[in-house]
Amino acid sequence: VSNAGVGMAGPLECQSLAAMQSLMDTNFFGLVRLVKEVLPDMKRRRGGHIVVISSIMGLQGIVFNDVYAASKFAVEGFCESLVVQALRFNVAISLVEPGPVTTEFEAKLYEEAERADYSRTDPETADIFTNVYLKNSKDVFASLGQTPEDIAEHTLRVIEAAKPPFRHQTNAAYTPMAALKHADPSGALLTAAFYQLLFRHSSVLRLGLR
């Protein structure tokens, strides 16, 4: 089970390339290093199961989570490319894709975001992040967040499955988001929906979540 991960949220201009590279080294290359270690023996034995804790953000990017989402997209692409070859050797690969999970990980991330320096971006972007995104995110976690124990139960079901799924989403509330993306390959439908929720109906969104 690969579960290493770090987060990053905020305006792109305020994040250093060194921090982005460090995040990718943990979230993506950490997985790559693990798979390189375990896969050869699994192939020799003609059996094994690699379970990767991905994210719903590996399927859909979320505003102000540019680099974190990119790392999870990389995880998804890596596993999607590898799964067919692995099956030839009777090795299963499963992606567990949680939405928001209420942990100290997230609490620390948002504490850091609230006291960060946003002078490297324009005032409008800083205002959108601090007064729209952060407020909405707290409501999302309060309303839709799962416990670590719940994610562990989902992961255990994937591990014990007679035919392990390649993808397993843990939060049904995010099914419509994934469906919108598949319904319109151009991306226009989902982009418009997110724009309306963030900039036109933000107060209605927060009220609904509460």
Q: Where are the alpha helices (DSSP H) in 101-196?
A: 104-114, 123-128, 134-144, 148-160, 175-183, 188-195
Q: Is 174 a catalytic residue?
A: no
DSSP H or E run through 77 = helix 66-88
**Rounded to the nearest 5°, which phi and psi values hold at 146?**
-100, 160
Do residues 197 and 210 make contact, with C-beta atoms less than 8 angstroms apart?
no
CA distances from 49 to 9, 23, 29, 52, 192 (A): 32, 25, 19, 10, 39
Q: Which of 93, 92, 66, 90 is nearest to 79 (CA)?
A: 93
Burial class (CB in 10 A: 0-12, 13-18, 19+), 114: exposed
Q: Which of 114, 119, 106 is nearest to 133 (CA)?
A: 114
Query: Strand, coil or helix: what is 102?
Result: coil
Residue where the block lists tokens 């690699």: 50
**Where in the sequence numbering do the catalytic residues fall?**
68
